Amino acid sequence: MIRISLCMIVKNEEAVLARCLDSIADLMDEIIIVDTGSMDKTKEIARRYTNRVYEFPWTGSFSDARNYSFSKASMEYIYCADADEVMDEENRDKFKMLKKGLLPEIDIVQMYYVNQMSYNTVYNFNKELRPKLYKRQRSFVWEGTIHEAVRLEPLVYDSDIEIEHHPTSNHKSRDLAAFEKMYKDHLPFNSRLFHMYAQELYLSGDPGDFIRALPFFAESIEDLSRKPDEIMEACCVCAKACRNKNDYEQFLQYALKAVALGSCSEICCELGRYYDSKNDVTQAAVWYYNAAFETESALSARHHTTLPLSALVDCYTEMEMPEQAARYKELLTEAEKAKE
């Protein structure tokens, strides 16, 4: 049986921390909780479960805090949990079985994160595999009968364990502030972080968030090291920011650049909204149709499904074409059911 260190970073989690720990504490062999500046009873609650409670001054980097928590672990594996997670009894039993039978060569175990779309968090799917259990110290092995080489990629196991995500609020302000600070501090954005920044803007950003992000993504469009899909994502953010500013000349430049790259559902929706603002419902319908049926989403799944379908219902209702409106209403209902 493997032994596991639970490592958590927390801040002002008094409303949910006990709920999380009640569901997983007895599955762990060691509990490490790192507090990054709570002003409530979070640390007091944490000490009910472990004496391994540490304080870590917030640096603006989740990685810094997470690395510090991992540095305190001593067990063979590390389980990484957030305070707003819950594991029910069925999945607790699966976790116990995993703990008894996990093969020693496994480096990372992925588990299903469910209920992700609450509060418009930065996810497009309600159920998605995420790495949750990590081998603390990897052993390196040689592979290949000839021209042998050390295996560098971790061996990942996809389990069927489901972890419920029950946030009490939307963390977008915290997350977007961290991205903005990275830009201001001239820190590099790899492809993953670049995508996450653009995606969080599209899933939960307000007009001010887009406008503050505009300089970074505008610079990125001119960055020759960026990949075509990253340029497309940047065009989406810049186009929406400019539309929010009513700067339609710049909006059209970014939108047309995205169309030249191959287009995506987000840009088609932006063009639909643009023509809506011009009271040109016929052209708006063309672009909403393209969003729903001719392109794929780059950042936000709803820009390929419910958003353009709802807009098409409105367009054809305004054009007094009830049969078409009814058809899109039917497709919208199907899309909403599929999302549940």
Burial class of residue 31 in the structure, from the number of CB atoms within 10 Å of its CB (0-12 exposed, 13-18 middle, 19+ buried): buried
pLDDT single digits (tens) 127-173:
788 999 999 987 776 666 565 676 677 889 999 999 998 877 656 67
Q: Residue 262: pLDDT above 70?
A: yes
Residues 6+ apart with CB under 8 A from 161: 87, 91, 94, 95, 98, 111, 112, 132
Provide the token pair at 280: 């040109």
State the pLDDT at residue 209. 93
Q: Residue 215: pLDDT above 60?
A: yes
Mean pLDDT of 98-106: 93
Please give the domain boundaries of the chain with CATH numbers for all domains.
Answer: 4-165 (3.90.550.10), 172-339 (1.25.40.10)
Q: How far apart are CA 5 and CA 79, in angstroms?
A: 6
| More confident position, 61 or 286 | 286
* DSSP class of 19: H
Which backbone phi and psi does 220 adopt, to 5 degrees? -65, -30
pLDDT single digits (tens) 16-45:
999 999 999 999 999 999 999 999 999 999
> How many angstroms separate the most distant Cα atoms in the chain?
72
Burial class of residue 59 in the structure, from the number of CB atoms within 10 Å of its CB (0-12 exposed, 13-18 middle, 19+ buried): exposed
Per the prediction, the chain carries an average pLDDT of 90
Q: Residue 301: pLDDT above 80?
A: yes
State the pLDDT at residue 125. 53
pLDDT single digits (tens) 165-210:
887 765 667 788 888 988 998 988 999 899 999 999 998 889 999 9
State the pLDDT at residue 147. 52
* DSSP class of 86: E
> Which range, of 23-27, 64-68, 148-152, 224-228, averages the lowest pLDDT?
148-152
